[in-house]
Every structure is written in structure tokens, then in C-alpha cells.
Amino acid sequence: MASKFIALPKGVSEKTFEAAIAEFRSILGQDSVLVTAEQLAPYIKTMMPVPDADHTPSAALQATTVEQIQKIVAVCNKYKVPIWMISTGRNFGYGSAAPAERGQVVLDLKRMNRILEVDPDLCFALVEPGVTYKQLYDYIQEHKYPLWLSCPAPSAIAGPTGNTLDRGVGYTPYGEHFLFACGMEVVLANGEVLRTGMGSLPKSNTWQVFKWGYGPYLDGIFTQSNYGIVTKFGFWLMPAPPAFKPFVIQYENEDDIVEIVETIRPLRISGVIPNAIVIAHALYEAPTKAKRSDYVTGPGAITDDAVRQIMKDHKLGVWNVYAALYGTQEQIDVNWKIVTDAFSKSGKAKVLTEQEAGDDPAFQYRAALMRGDMTLKEFSLYNWRGGGGSMWFAPVSQARGSETLKQMAMTKRILGKYGLDYSGEFIVGMRDMHHIVDVLYDKTDPAMTKAAYQCFDELLTEFSNEGYGTYRVNTAFMDKVAHTYGPVQRHVHETLKKALDPNGILAPGKSGIR
């Protein structure tokens, strides 16, 4: 007999699941509990090189209130039904909106989307998980608040809660998003509602202004984890500066990354350049202007000669350093002199400002991201190979020139072995780099899909052998990455999990935690 459901949670019988679904319906109403193949189709599309069946949900629940979520976890505990929580669910390249394990019920909080507070004096926001950057951007514009957002490249359709809970990054001086988080509300597996920091104090008005509260600081254990369901999220917003000066500095040779990083680090650590600078390879920027098929035919990775030709045809450096200055015009003028003096020493750098590069599509979208404007132009990456295959390979590096060159060369060699291109960038923290590489492949091509899987696996193995860890990863490789951080850390994670979620109902498998 065919099942009523397209998948079942691990260890849950159809009969038990039917009973759980009936209870979910009594909480949410008939229309907010999705079980048919047609209703669940949007949750199944991922960009990972594994069968979609591995990540097919059994159902999706559209909750809109904290009370509903408390009742849902009670049902999950009763029937041992695992749920996978998403906010805006636009986690492309990391697993999208699909659950980590086949059969998990997606708790979809997209419709829980109220902007609860934006304070233009103290410069903070408090939002529900379904709020998108675009929604918040429009709200700020309508109210004429002089505040800027920081968002990742999927800007308009992504949101601050989901992005920060996976510790995502943006490109403004507020680009390290979790660093600027302040106060969370979390529904725990036992149904209790925890407010972190100052939020637990009755009558407090400092939830979004002082992060630590009293005693152990808990916010971090609810990021990249499965210890609770975040239902409110506070974070700080950057005051709009009087002036903004984006610029790009281009270099011609791959080993120039050493000089670039050595030049940038003191400027970044001292705050002369305050934002999350990007050092983007030509192949990361090329898709906004060029087609791969115009330069490459047949299998294999793109050649260095073809990359040179693309650089020439489309006015790209092999490295393109996007950064910006913020403040009054006087502040910008002072810092601009420091920046140009530093970069002009060797004579290798080509410095371009809005005057020279303002019409360039790559410069335009980078400038937009560095001021927290909405643009999805970077999705051009997915057209480079086409076919819907993409995984982010994201090792952490010291902000040291020799290290970045070593990581870049390792990545390019391993990708090349599998016929894939190096589309990478370094996002510059103060002392760290998020080395972000888009492993792009054609998911409609079974052989290339298999190669992409093996390639990603080898990248993780080789990098961890060199002591390089990954900051974030797609759902197909979470266990592998968790192992690279060693048994003691895993054991602590599991101990916390057992204490907070003894029935294992919250997103088992997230970050390898069960």
C-alpha cells in the first residue's frame, strides 16, 4: 500500500506520524500543515551533489506564534518526531530549506515575520525569524531612519535571523553578523521560553543594548546548533554615515595575494578600512560579465590562459579587492590617503573608485553590498556552469599572506583534479579570513555531480590535515566537518544536547549533533 506521506521521520511509523499530523493540524489549522508532494516540492530543491531523496521532508509546518511553537514541541516530544527549523530558508549552497536528514518535519517560520522594533537612536532592531532584509530595508526607508543594514549576497530574500543563526557574514563594518547580535528569545525543547542576556529581567529595557546579561552568556550555543528554536532576534544597526567611498584595487598575478593581505591587515586591524573587505578572484567576479562557454569547451577546469583572457576582455584583476571608507568627508579624505599610500608602494596595484568603475556590473553590486543595499547580482555565479550545482567550501585562514596563498593553491589544485574551477574570495575579518569558494558544477550531469561530491570530500580532508577548519558547511557534510574538530568538542555538544533535548526532537544532525 502506498504511503500517505512522501517520507517518514526516522523510527516513526506511519500510524504514529498520522497521529502527530492530526495534532499539528489542530494547533495550526489544516492549511498550515503541508504533506503532499506538490506542497513540499519547494523544500526539496537543493544544490548539493546527493540524491534529493536523502533530504526530503515528511511535512512542513507554518507556525506564526510562540504559543504554537510551544505546542508543536510538545507534540514532537510525545511522538518523537524530529523537526528541522528554518527562518527565511534561503541557505543556498549550505542545504537550502531541506532538512539535514530524510523524513524530518520542517518547522518553517517564514510567516512569523513581524518587525517588532527598530530604534533609530540606539540603532538596533528586534525581529521575528521570517523577516527578510528587504522587508526591513523597506521599513527603514519608509520611516526615513538613518540606518544601514549588513546582509549576505542573497540580501533581498534572506533574513537576519536565519543568516546570523548560521553565523553568516556581510560586507559593511557590521559584516560579522553574530558579533552584532544582541538578545534572543528561544523556545526550548521542553516548551519553556528563554530570553537571553538582559531579556530575562522583568521590565528590562536593555535587551538589545547589552549583550551579556548575568552569568554564562548563552546566545552562542543557539547558533549553528539544535538546542532551541529562536523566535525573536535582536541586533545592532550601523548609523548611516554622511559619506561613503567604495573602491576596488586590482592585481594581475595570483601570488600577489601575499602582498595584498600583508598590506590590508594593518589597515583592517587599526580600523582605517572598517568593513569586511573582499579579495575576489577573477572567476568569482567574471560571471557578472562573461560566459564560461565563451572561453572553455570540453571537460576540465578552465586554463590560466583563459582566465587571463577574461581579465583582459572584462577589466578584471586576477585579484579584485573591494573595500570602502565611511564617515565624514574629512575622515574619508584622511583615510583615503593612508590607503592609497599603502597600496601604491610596490607599483603593482591598480586603484579604481566610483569615478573609474561606477558603470562596471561587478563594482556596482559590490558597492551595493558594502552599504547594505539589496542586490542578487552575485547569483550570476550559478550561471557559470549552470545546472543548479553549488556548495560553499569555507575554510578559515589567518589574515597572513603566505597562508592565503597556500590555501588558494591547495584549493585550486584539488578542484582542478576533478575538472572544476577556482571561484574563490577571501572575506577579511580583522585577524581571520573566511576563504569562500563556490564549488560550482552541473547537477544535471551525473558524472560531474559525482566528481563534485568527491572533490568536496577531498577538500575537507586535505584542509583538516593541514589544520584548517571549516566555518560552515552544507547539510550533506556536517558530520564530516564535526569530526574534524575532535572528540572532546563533540562530546560537550552531545552532553548539552541530551540535557536540553532528551528526546532529540530538534534538528538532529545539525552540525553533527544528535
Partner 1 sequence: PEPGFQWKDGAEVYAKVCAFCHEAKVGPTIRGRGLAPAYITFIVRHGNRAMPSFRAAEIDDESLARVAEYVSKAAANQ
Q: Return residues touching partner 1 (CB under 8 A).
A: 34, 38-39, 41-45, 60, 62, 64-65, 88-90, 92, 96-97, 108, 110-114, 128, 130-131, 134-135, 138, 156-157, 361, 374-377, 379-380, 382-383, 386-388, 443-444
Q: How far is the CB of 40 from partner 1 (least distance, A)?
A: 9
Residue 124: strand pairing partners: 119, 236
Q: How far is the CB of 503 from partner 1 (least distance, A)?
A: 26
Residue 98 vs 273, nearer CB to partner 1: 98
Beta strands (DSSP E) in 21-104 are: 33-34, 59-62, 83-86
Pairing relation of β-strands 105-108 and 59-62?
Answer: parallel
Annotated catalytic residue 471: yes
Among candidate residues 268, 371, 385, 472, the one labeled active-site is 472
Q: Which three cell numbers stand for residue 155?
A: 540580501
Q: How far is the CB of 22 from partner 1 (least distance, A)?
A: 21
Residue 199 vs 241, nearer CB to partner 1: 199
Q: How far is the CB of 47 from partner 1 (least distance, A)?
A: 9
Residue 291 vs 337, nearer CB to partner 1: 291
Q: Cα(first)–Cα(last) distance of the chain, in Å?
A: 32
Annotated catalytic residue 139: no
Residue 16 vs 135, nearer CB to partner 1: 135
With b meaning 16 or more CB within 10 Å and e meaning fewer, what string describes 115-128? Answer: eeebbeeebbbbbb
Q: Which three cell numbers stand for residue 130?
A: 521570517
Q: Which three cell numbers stand for residue 174?
A: 557590521
Annotated catalytic residue 472: yes
Among candidate residues 284, 365, 422, 471, the one labeled active-site is 471
Dist CA 486 CA 502 (whole Å): 23
Dist CA 424 CA 257 (whole Å): 12
Beta strands (DSSP E) in 54-123 are: 59-62, 83-86, 105-108, 115-119
Torsion of CA 270, 334, 426, 256, to 10 degrees: -110
Q: What's the one-letter identity of residue 477? A: F
Among candidate residues 79, 94, 251, 284, the one labeled active-site is 94
Give the residue among 392, 424, 400 at the shortest CA–CA distance from 410. Answer: 424
Kindly give, in sequence order, each residue whose CB lies less than 8 Å from that of residue 177, ignoring residues fewer than 6 positions away.
150, 160, 163, 164, 167, 168, 169, 170, 235
Dist CA 181 CA 164 (whole Å): 8
| Three-state secondary-structure class, residue 8 | coil
Q: How far is the CB of 372 from partner 1 (least distance, A)?
A: 15
Cα atoms found within 13 Å of the Cα of residue 159, Cβ hemisphere only? 27
Kindly give, in sequence order, each residue whose CB lies less than 8 Å from that of residue 333, ignoring residues fewer than 6 positions away.
none
Residue 288 vs 484, nearer CB to partner 1: 288
Q: How far is the CB of 134 from partner 1 (least distance, A)?
A: 6
Q: How far is the CB of 329 from partner 1 (least distance, A)?
A: 31
Q: Can you tell me which residue has the cell 590555501?
A: 407
Q: How many residues does the chain have?
A: 514
Residue 115: strand pairing partners: 127
Indicate the helix (H) or strand (E) that contains 234. strand 229-236
Q: How far is the CB of 344 from partner 1 (least distance, A)?
A: 34
Let me know if 375 is exposed, middle or buried by CB neighbors in 10 A (0-12, 13-18, 19+).
middle
Residue 88 vs 263, nearer CB to partner 1: 88
Active site residues: 94, 471-472
